[in-house]
């Protein structure tokens, strides 16, 4: 079962998303700020994060930046869900490290499609990493180059010796 972390200060939205996603077979964690989201992530890393931008304590942009600066957080799919709808806001979200950005209000079907796409991409990337690691562990190390052949032997001395 895939685990999703919802980070949003709006309890009504969080509750609705949790119900919707749990009905679709996801395990859902929740946090009300970026700071709480970081703590939840460190405790039990999810497979995907959906985060608001405007929150108390730590906004979603800073949450994403901090997450992306960690080894375990740099590859986790991250979707912003925000009422900030200007193009510059969406660009800032992507430049901060988000994989996708959905403007509120939104259709839950669209969010679900984005979640599925991000999880599938993550699954394929992880499978390829595992394949490459296995391949590198099973390949024979390159053989050292062979030394050059010895120079040809000098011709044998004339059997009669001398001049003749």
pLDDT digits (tens, 9 = 90+) for 26-85: 999 999 999 999 999 999 999 999 999 999 999 999 999 999 999 999 999 999 999 999
Question: What does DSSP assign to residue 142?
Answer: P
Distance in angstroms (rounded) separating the CA atoms of residues 95 and 79: 12
Q: pTM for the full model?
A: 0.81
Q: What is the pLDDT of residues 112-142, one digit of tens each?
A: 999 999 999 999 999 998 989 888 887 666 6
Domains and CATH numbers, the chain: 3-131 (3.40.50.2300)
Q: Report d(CA 7, CA 25) in Å as an integer.
A: 19
Contact between 54 and 84 (Cβ < 8 Å): yes
Alpha carbons 130 and 49: distance in angstroms, whole number:
23
Q: What is the 3-state secondary structure (H, E, C) of 94-134?
A: HHHCCCEEEECCCCHHHHHHHHHHHHHHHHHHHHHHHHHHH
Helix (H) or strand (E) holding 5: strand 3-7
Task: Determine the Cα–Cα distance for residues 78 and 135; give it in Å rounded to an integer.
Answer: 29
């Amino acid at each position: 079962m895939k685990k999703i972390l919802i980070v949003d200060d709006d309890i009504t939205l969080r509750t609705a998303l949790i119900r919707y996603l749990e009905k679709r077979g996801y395990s859902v964690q929740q946090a009300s700020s970026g700071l709480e989201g970081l703590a939840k992530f460190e405790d039990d890393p999810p497979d995907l994060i959906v985060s608001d931008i405007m929150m108390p304590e730590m906004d979603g942009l800073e949450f994403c930046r901090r997450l992306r600066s960690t080894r375990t957080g740099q590859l986790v799919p991250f979707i912003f869900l925000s009422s900030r709808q200007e193009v510059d806001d969406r660009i800032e979200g992507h430049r901060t490290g988000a994989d996708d950005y959905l403007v509120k209000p939104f259709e839950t079907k669209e969010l679900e499609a984005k979640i599925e796409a991000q999880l599938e991409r993550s699954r394929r990337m992880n499978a390829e990493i595992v394949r490459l690691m296995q391949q590198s562990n099973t390949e024979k190390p390159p053989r050292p180059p062979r030394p050059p052949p010895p120079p040809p032997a000098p011709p044998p001395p004339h059997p009669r010796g001398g001049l003749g």
